[in-house]
Amino acid sequence: AKRIIIKVGTSTLIYPNGKVNLAAIDQLAFVLTDLRNRGKEIILVSSGAVGVGMTKMNLNQRPQTIPEQQAIAAIGQGELINIYNQRFATYGQQTAQVLVTRDVIDFPESRKNVTNTLEQLLALGAIPIVNENDTVAVDELDHSTKFGDNDQLSAIVTQLVTADLLIVLSDIDGFYSDNPSTNAQAELYSLVTEINDDLMAKAGGAGSTFGTGGMHSKLQAAKRIFDANRSMVLANGKNPAIIFDILAGKEIGTFFKH
């Protein structure tokens, strides 16, 4: 794989106590910079704006209303990029903040603009850090819509720049036959070749306080990936160096391939 999209969920970036997981962010910066240095083209799709904003504002509960969440996300997004920039700078890697909305699906003009920007950033050797613009659109915040977390967004970005592989890092080892937090008998699927209703029924919602997408939204993303004839790996982001192993072809997490 030459062009790779990495999506990190809030659960990878924020500890259960609400503090920022600096070790994970630092390791992510190290791993992605190393891949870039080896000639890979990398785009990071990062959640975590609301989580980081909550930490900054000393909130221990996710705000209730959408406008509150938007405000906290705006505070957190700046801080999150700050942390990323600091860590990536340590390794000499240029980053870029790219905020997008669902318009990339609905409007060809927007799609073209976003694609052009991402292509240009890759050509410059930068690592784009993509998130949804929560001020303009609330798809990510409003759980009633299907955009769900950044899982869909990462699949859309994969389509836009025709990347070879999408790696989704979560707080779980992969996709199980049932939610492992409620069913100890649940088994890990190492390979999924088709997304059907049967499989969808096995996916539950988000497990953590800070996670928002849940497994359902990850399967939706996989569906989109299949439609675009791409592949996806879902793996545990506890230790982002796992990306090295995935790219080395080791059997890790759940591999979604047609």
Applying CB under 6 A, the residues found at the interface with ligand ADP are 9-12, 149, 170-172, 175-176, 178-181, 202-204, 206-208, 211-215
Cβ proximity to ligand ADP, 75 vs 153, nearer residue:
153
Cα(21)–Cα(181) distance, rounded to whole angstroms? 22
Pair 51, 62: CB distance under 8 Å: no
Cβ proximity to ligand ADP, 206 vs 246, nearer residue:
206
H or E element that contains 130? strand 127-132
- Cβ 203 to ligand ADP, closest distance in Å? 5
- Residues 6+ positions from 176 with CB-CB distance below 8 Å: 186, 187, 188, 189, 202
Q: 191 forms bridges with which residues in the sheet?
A: 255
Cα(101)–Cα(153) distance, rounded to whole angstroms? 9
- Cβ 254 to ligand ADP, closest distance in Å? 9
Cβ proximity to ligand ADP, 78 vs 180, nearer residue:
180
Cβ proximity to ligand ADP, 84 vs 175, nearer residue:
175
- Cβ 79 to ligand ADP, closest distance in Å? 18
Instruction: Note every long-range contact of 97-100, with CB atoms under 8 Å and residues 24 or more positions apart, other chains counting.
Output: 97/128, 97/129, 97/131, 98/128, 98/129, 98/130, 98/131, 99/130, 99/131, 99/132, 99/133, 100/130, 100/131, 100/132, 100/133, 100/153
- Cβ 198 to ligand ADP, closest distance in Å? 12
Cβ proximity to ligand ADP, 128 vs 237, nearer residue:
237
- Cβ 120 to ligand ADP, closest distance in Å? 29
